[in-house]
Structure 1
Amino acid sequence: MKYQMLWLALVLTIAAEANAAAKQGKNTTITALIVFGDSIMDTGNNNNLPTLLKCNFPPYGKDFPGGSTTGRFSDGRVPSDLIAEKLGLAKTLPAYMNPNLKPEDLLNGVTFASGGTGYDPLTAQIMSVISVWDQLTYFKEYISKMKKHFGEEKAKDILENSIFLVVSSSNDLAHTYLARAHRYDRTSYANFLADSAVKFVRELHKLGARKIGVFSAVPVGCVPLQTTVYGGLLTRGCNQPLNNMAKQFNSRLSPALDSLDKELDGVILYIDVYDTLYDMIQHPKKYGFEVADRGCCGKGTLAMSYLCNSLTPFTCSNSSAYIFWDSYHPTERAYQVIVDNLLDKYLSKVYDV
């Protein structure tokens, strides 16, 4: 009886520890983070491209570990890094186009994101960056590398148990629409982009992805670049027609992804970031920020990429007080708030698969 009781106690202890681990460390089943999209998730893929849209120079990266100018469009880390850390994979997510990337660097995932791109192929063409569709081609190359260096089983495990994130649309809405206005009105263009996003997810699923999250459009009409140009010198209000396009994109994308989730195996999620960022911009003090209508770099009215450089005057000393780093991109701290507010909610759905 004594040994039976000891055995029962041991079993119960193991079960309790396993249950605690499941609650606290559900991400142990996540093998990697694979990311597609634009500058929000780019960790340096544009560095060696013949494009003006790059940021591998100071003061970009001033709050990154070591003050490195990595090519991230922020003062520090970006959501791809923060999400990878939250998943327990790594503190930073490497850019796939990094020429110094080693095979073992691929194991925890990579980002294919390219600043300035969009769902509309014309967007990448105009900006001379990597389209999301070309990012799929690089993803096929990534799969081949995984099979070559780590075997078929490891590649299969990566595909089945990784989280895939897709973040795009802002550049399409804010810039490319003007070149498409002869063909689309605002509503039809937003719908075209949403349909393109769904097509992208289908293609990604065909390649083996099974846990896919697609970010909504953000309130791009409220970034400092838009409020400076369209919001008026005194009021600096949001560009509402642009925000309405973003909301139209979201209203088309969300139910389409829900339908796709029911149709395909795995999990396909619509991740709403619009409301969180909009509330942050409208009520900065609620989130611990002091400035919401200007960026830190050069006071961020029209400063972005090469217009935000080491010679730019008046770059703030405390970027954590600002929601925006430059005239278009949030600070690391703003990204952290967004990730903390949204990720647990959506990742719990992935863990339940």
Structure 2
Amino acid sequence: MGPLMKLRSPLAFCSSMLLCFIVLLLVCCKIKGVVELPPNVSVPAVIVFGDSIMDTGNNNNNMQTWARCNFAPYGKDFPAGIPTGRFSNGKVPSDLIVEELGIKELLPAYLDPNLQPKDLITGVCFASGGSGYDPLTSKISTAITLPDQINMFKKYLEKLKGIVGEDRTKFIVANSVFLLVQGSNDIYNTYFLSHARQLQYDLPTYTRLLVTSASNFLKEIYELGARRVGVFGAPPIGCVPFVRTVLGGIVRECVENQNEACKLFNNQLSEELDSLNQNLPNSRMVYLDVYNPLLDIIQNYQQYGYKVEDRGCCGTGELEAAVICNPLAPPCPDVEDYIFWDSFHPSESAYKKLVASLLRKHLYQFF
């Protein structure tokens, strides 16, 4: 036995062998991705923060919130037809992105009671339906706030260190892709719908507050080791079915002041990310434009193979979302005809188109 082996205890040797086995198993079990990464580039995991666009089930056991969907008809087209807490008929962008990158098929919720230690190594989702950059937004919907999502991430890091060790944890965090999706709930629910902030702020000031919150969040996860971070802009919420029903008049047109608010926020967010990249060494803070791709799908829906652009598949499609989209509101015969699954959230089909567009346009910016 060599001198190095004499210095290592049997327990340390077994732990090292177990770690090697886990890493080898994960490498062998990766699925075949669609996108090609640059040579010598590794993306070991995807870590997601945000709202219902990305939530893969963190709100399931939060009985105080209306922002839950772990019941039919949600999940109608998910594997085995199971309602998992994803706000869609099937997969959401969290899942589609890890699948496209060849990491795994689904991104589990961090609060999933069936979460396994091996799941942590390739990434989890901390997003919570109903949350926002504005603390009042999460309070209105009783969602998991961004500070609480960061606290969960810190606990995740400790668990990950216990599985793969501190050095490997640092490598995973530094090379993973982080994603952040917020803003829609702030702009529509907190500012326009409840009027809770209109008495305090004009719109440019309010969107600047949201961007400041985003910036503080990004600085905090940067200090925790994150380097590759994709930040989604706000979509054209003035064109989602619910907003068209409530504010779009008899013909349910897109509501332009909502869309203008989103564009204002997006411009400010993009500029802030440019500033962060200049001031945070080795950071890759990437602005991900979803506004224009989704608006193009809505305005040219027939070219994308859809028949209905202004209603969701669930129930009448005009108001049903979350607890209102339930077994008493049966879905349409063919969800493939619809851009939206419910009155707020796109269908899996539309998400696939958006994710493919985003990766083609922005993936290189992370490296």
Asked if 1:280 is matched to 2:280, the reply is no
Query: Matched residues in 2 for 1:310 and 1:197: separation?
Result: 37
> What is residue 127 of structure 1 aligned with on the other side?
141
* Higher mean C-alpha displacement, 326-335 vs 178-187: 178-187
Q: Distance in 1 between matches of 2:237 and 2:163?
A: 41
Structure 1 residue 25, shift from structure 2 partner: 4.5
Does residue 1:332 correspond to 2:327, yes or no?
no
What is the Cα deviation at residue 26 of structure 1? 3.8
User: Is it true that 1:46 corresponds to 2:59 in the alignment?
Assistant: yes
Q: Which residue of 2 aligns with 1:251?
A: 267
Alignment match of 1:323 (pick from 339, 344, 365): 339
Q: Residue 256 of structure 1 aligns to which amino acid in structure 2? A: E
Spell out, residue by residue over 1:207-257, the C-alpha distance to the aligned partner (whole angstroms, 9 max, x if none).
110101100111111100000011112x21112111111111011111110
Deviations 1:103-125 (A, max 9, x none): 11111100100000000011111
**Residues 84-112 of structure 1: per-residue CA shift (max 9 Å, x gap):** 00110111100001112111111110010
AA of the residue aligned to 1:165: L
Cα distance in 2 between the residues matched to 1:243 and 1:74 = 23
Give 5+ residue unaligned stretches, structure 1.
Answer: 1-20
Q: Aligned letter for 1:127? A: S
What does residue 3 of structure 1 align with?
A: none
| 2:125 pairs with one of 88, 91, 111 | 111
The answer to whether residue 227 in structure 2 is matched with residue 227 in structure 1 is: no
**Pairing 1:60–2:74 present:** yes
Q: CA deviation at 1:266?
A: 2.4
Q: Deviations over 1:114-161 (max 9, x none)?
A: 000000011111111101121011000100000112211221111111
One-letter code aligned to 1:42: D
Report if aligned partners of 1:191, 1:248 keep a CA contact under 8 Å in 2: no
- Structure 1 residue runs of 4 or more that deviate by more than 2 Å after TM superposition: 23-28
Secondary structure in 2 aligned to 1:179?
coil
8 Å Cα contact 1:38-1:117 kept in structure 2: yes
- Show the counterpart of 1:306: 323
CA distance in 2, matches of 1:91, 1:123: 31
Quote the residue 1:296 is aligned against: 313
How far did residue 263 of structure 1 move?
1.4
- In structure 1, what is the equivalent of residue 6 of structure 2? none
Question: Which of 221, 226, 251 in structure 2 is aligned with 1:204?
Answer: 221
Of 174, 194, 198, the residue aligned with 1:160 is 174
Partner residue of 2:361?
Answer: 345
TM-score, normalised via structure 2 length: 0.87
Question: What is the Cα deviation at residue 295 of structure 1?
Answer: 0.2
> What secondary structure, in the 3-state scheme, does the structure 2 residue paired with 1:257 have?
helix
**Equivalent residue number for residue 11 of structure 2:** none
Aligned to 2:113: 99
Q: Partner of 1:276: helix, strand, or coil?
A: helix
SS in 1 for 2:103: coil
- Please name the residue that 1:218 is paired with: 235
CA contact (8 A) 1:299 1:326 kept: no
Among 23, 31, 54, the alignment partner of 2:44 is 31
Number of the residue aligned with 1:263: 279
1:95 and 1:24 mapped to 2: Cα distance? Answer: 26
CA RMSD of aligned residues (A): 1.4
Q: Which amino acid aligns with 1:100?
A: N
State the distance in 2 between where 1:253 and 1:139 align: 23
How far apart are the structure 2 equivalents of 1:344 and 1:204? 25
Please give the alpha-carbon distance, in whole angstroms, between the structure 2 residues aligned to 1:139 and 1:310: 34
Q: Any stretches of 5+ residues in structure 2 without a counterpart?
A: 1-32
Cα distance in 1, alignment partners of residues 336 and 355 from structure 2: 15
Query: Of 137, 141, 159, which residue of structure 1 is paired with 2:155?
Result: 141
Q: Which residue of 2 aligns with 1:194?
A: 211
Deviates more, 1:329-338 or 1:152-161: 152-161
Distance 1:282 1:116 in 2: 27
Task: Find the aligned partners of 1:163 and 1:67 in 2 and give their Cα distance.
Answer: 29
Q: TM-score, normalised by structure 1?
A: 0.90
Residue 179 (str. 1) matches residue 193 (str. 2)? no
* Deviations 1:245-281 (CA, angstroms, capped at 9, x unpaired): 1111011111110111121122111111100011111
SS of corresponding position for 1:242: helix
Name 2:3's counterpart in structure 1. none
